[in-house]
Amino acid sequence: AAGVIQSPRHLIKEKRETATLKCYPIPRHDTVYWYQQGPGQDPQFLISFYEKMQSDKGSIPDRFSAQQFSDYHSELNMSSLELGDSALYFCASSFYSEAFFGQGTRLTVV
Amino acid sequence: SQQGEEDPQALSIQEGENATMNCSYKTSINNLQWYRQNSGRGLVHLILIRSNEREKHSGRLRVTLDTSKKSSSLLITASRAADTASYFCATDAGAGGTSYGKLTFGQGTILTVHP
């Protein structure tokens, strides 16, 4: 069965650079969620989209932005990267049921 | 802010034993979900229990929910070495109703099952 696809799987960026993370939800899933998981931490909700509109917002820094496109894939844009942004970033998708998570993108800021 | 507290933080058992993990939360919820995460890998959905349910089973997993105590437990019976992972509870407390994916995670229990 198709799962949530995230790319890239690993990303290394320098401080103050910009990163773009992509998420391809399970086909027919109309809601996408983004989470950030720091080392040894639990996942923290960042933002979600339903039918291409932002549906909810969590603890997402102003330096980050996201959107969902007409094909339902989503991108998380992160600018002015800081060392503390190093984390595992998860995308999840759902369709009136439990959310299914992707394998995550591990972002390392050096 | 943290919705869920899990205990124990770490659990070490032998294969064949049962493992019980507990989760407490603070606000009213629509549902509570349990996820598993192998080290640094993705989150795998295990089971969802709705606020009007008290117990749910899935294979070797048994989840209970006590909304009066705002707590849940996950029991893994006849554990295997392959069950070694971190286990997280996550609550859906959306004020607008069930959102399924906007979740507040607990800190997780690290389960180690020794062969």
pLDDT truncated to tens, each residue of chain B (115 aa)? 345 677 889 999 999 999 999 999 999 999 999 999 998 788 999 999 999 999 999 999 999 999 999 999 999 999 999 999 999 999 987 765 556 678 999 989 999 999 9
pLDDT for B2: 43
Residue range A44-65: mean pLDDT, rounded: 93
Please, what is the average pLDDT of chain A? 94
Residue A59: phi and psi, rounded to 5, are: -85, 60
Residue range A34-61: mean pLDDT, rounded: 93
pLDDT for B96: 59
**Range with the lowest mean pLDDT among A38-52, A92-106, B87-101?**
B87-101
Q: Which residues of chain A have a CB within 8 Å of the CB of B42?
A: 90, 101-104
Q: How far is B81 from chain A (nearest CA, A)?
A: 22
Task: State whether A90 and B42 contact (CB < 8 Å).
Answer: yes
Q: How far is A68 from chain B (nearest CA, A)?
A: 16
pLDDT beyond 50 at A52 = yes
Q: What is the DSSP letter of A103?
A: -
Q: What are the Cα distances from residue B66, in Å, to A86, A101, A109, B71?
A: 36, 26, 42, 5
Evaluate whether A10 touches A25 at the Cβ level (below 8 Å).
no
Task: State whether A101 and B48 contact (CB < 8 Å).
Answer: no
Please enumerate in sequence order all residues whose Cβ is within 8 A of that of B96, keeping only pairs 6 or more positions apart, or say none.
Answer: none
Task: State whether B99 and A48 contact (CB < 8 Å).
Answer: yes
Task: State whether A31 and B100 contact (CB < 8 Å).
Answer: yes
Residue B94's nearest CA partner among B26, B29, B43 is: B29
pLDDT for A36: 97
Evaluate whether A26 touches A93 at the Cβ level (below 8 Å).
yes
Which has the higher per-residue pLDDT, A97 or A17? A17
Residue B34's nearest CA partner among B9, B8, B65 is: B65
What is the tens place of the pLDDT at every residue in A74-88?
999 999 999 999 999
Q: What is the DSSP letter of B9?
A: S
Which residues 13-42 of B have a C-beta within 8 angstroms of A?
33, 35, 40-42
Neighbouring C-alpha atoms within 13 Å toward the C-beta of B14: 0
- Residue type for A5, please? I
Evaluate whether B63 touches B69 at the Cβ level (below 8 Å).
no
| H helix and E strand count, chain B | 0, 11
